Amino acid sequence: MSEETATLGGGCFWCLEAVYKELNGVTSVMSGYAGGSVPNPTYKAVCSGRTGHAEVVQVKFDPDQLSYADLLRVFFTIHDPTTLNRQGNDVGTQYRSIILTHSDAQAETARAVMQEIAAAGIWDGKLVTEIEPLATFYEAEPEHHDYFARNPWTGYCQVVVAPKVAKFRKSFSDRLKKAA
């Protein structure tokens, strides 16, 4: 099996992680921070908005089962790419819509998918998603790993994460991992 890596930010990393863990072709998902200038940031520092980092997920996937373009199509469905530095009530640059590319080919694909999504008129506003090369990915603290799976009863997970997961399951039912 070959494996590729995508790094994406679209609001809270708990939401993205929960969705991508269910997508067929994804082999692993890790929450973390990227896109900023402060080395080894903490969750508290990133939440302050002063590190320049976004909450992101690093998704490892099998390109024979899932194309990078399809991975991005899911990305543009599960968050609002038209709100600058915001997803719902989460406000700040750490919640920005960002694609951090691992190669020139990924950057080209990201621009093409973004144009496709814009042309399709799925969103009313202009897409504000940033596309830039990944410099460094910093893994989030262990308490953020598998957050939704471990804390589905918390208020944030009930009100924010669960509806995004439900929307994903409905929109991409043919792409879900099969239950073991």
Tell me the per-residue pLDDT of 10-56, one tens digit each, with 9 for 90 and over.
999 999 999 999 999 999 999 999 999 999 999 999 999 999 999 99
Q: Are 79 and 39 in contact (CB under 8 A)?
A: no
Strand order across the 137-139 sheet: 130-133, 97-101, 4-10, 54-61, 26-34, 137-139
Given a cut of 50, the residues of the chain with pLDDT beneath it are none
- Report the SS3 class of residue 96: coil
Q: Which of 12, 15, 47, 157 is catalytic?
A: 12
Q: What are the tokens at 53?
A: 């980092």
Per-residue confidence (pLDDT) for residue 89, from 0 to 100: 84
Helix (H) or strand (E) holding 17: helix 13-20
Active site residue 157: no
Single pTM value for the model = 0.95
Distance separating alpha carbons of residues 33 and 8, to the nearest angstrom: 10
pLDDT (0 to 100) of residue 144? 95
Q: Which residue has the tokens 């930010």?
A: 9
pLDDT of residue 179: 66
pLDDT reported for residue 33: 98
Helices and strands (H, E) in the chain, number of each type: 7, 8
